[in-house]
Amino acid sequence: MGGRVAYDPSSHRLLPDYFPELERCDVTHTTSQREDVSEEAHDTDAAAATTATTATTRPQPTDRPLFECHSRCGCSADCASRVVQKGITLPLEVFMSATKGWSVRVLSPVRKGQFVSEYAGEVVSTEEAQRRWRDEYDRAGLNYLLVVREFIPARGATLRTNIDGTRLGNVSRFFNHSCDPNMLLFLVRVGSLIPRLAFFVCRDVAAGEELTYDYGHGSTQAADAPATRQCHCGARHCRGVLPFDPLA
C-alpha cells in the first residue's frame, strides 16, 4: 500500500455514544435449538420495513437487513444468532505478497458461507472521511477507509457508513482486492443502527489460500481515471485496475 502510519491492532470499532440501540428480541434459545431464527424487523430507519435474518452463514448476497441478537435480547450468549459479535475464530495469517504488499491467508479449510471477520476501525462522518483522505491519506499513499452505502427504498434515502481502519482496526485492513473474490461483504447490525461490515466466504476456501473481496462490488473503472492503480489479482477476467471511490 505504501506509506507508514502508527497503528493500533484493536478488534473493536469506536462507536459514538449518541447512536441509539435497536430493540431487543423476545426469543429464548441456545445452540441446542438451532432453528434458523427470523424475526420481524423493528420499526427503525435501518429496518426499511423488510425482514431481518440471522447471519449464521451467508453464502449469497442479500438486500435484506441482517440482525444479530445482542445483550438486551432474551437469549443466551450461546444463541445461534450471535456470529459476527464473537469475532474471528479462523486461523488467519498476514503475509507479504510479491506484488500486492500485505495480504491475508487462512491456515485451515473454510466452508462456503462461514464468517471470517469484521472490518474494524473508527466510525467517522462523511466530512471527516473526506478530510482525512484529502489532508492525510492520499498524499501518503494510504487507503484503509471503507465506505458502504445502503439504499432505503421506502424512504428514498441512502445510509452511508465510513469506517477508517488506518490507526485502529484488525487484520481485515490487509484484505486485498480480487476481480474474482472468495469473500463477500455483508452489513450486520448488533444492537445498534450502525452496521458491522462482516466478511463471509462465498465459496469453499483451501488452507493457505489468500482471502480477498471485490473493492468495487463488480463496478468498473476506466484505466485512465484519476488515481488508478494496476490490479494484480491474477483473475481470469481481471478488470486491470483497482476500483476507486473518491469519497464523493
C-beta separation of 183 from 201 below 8 A: yes
C-beta separation of 31 from 86 below 8 A: no
- Residue 201 burial by CB count (10 A; 0-12/13-18/19+): exposed, middle or buried? buried
Catalytic residue among 7, 18, 119, 137: 119
Cα 190 to Cα 66, 68, 234, 240: the distances in Å are 9, 5, 36, 37
Catalytic residue among 137, 144, 213, 215: 215
* Bridge partner list, 150: 159
Amino acid at 41: A
Alpha carbon 6 to its chain's center = 22
**Catalytic annotation present for 215:** yes
**Catalytic annotation present for 144:** no
Alpha carbon 181 to its chain's center = 14
* Catalytic residue ranges: 119, 215
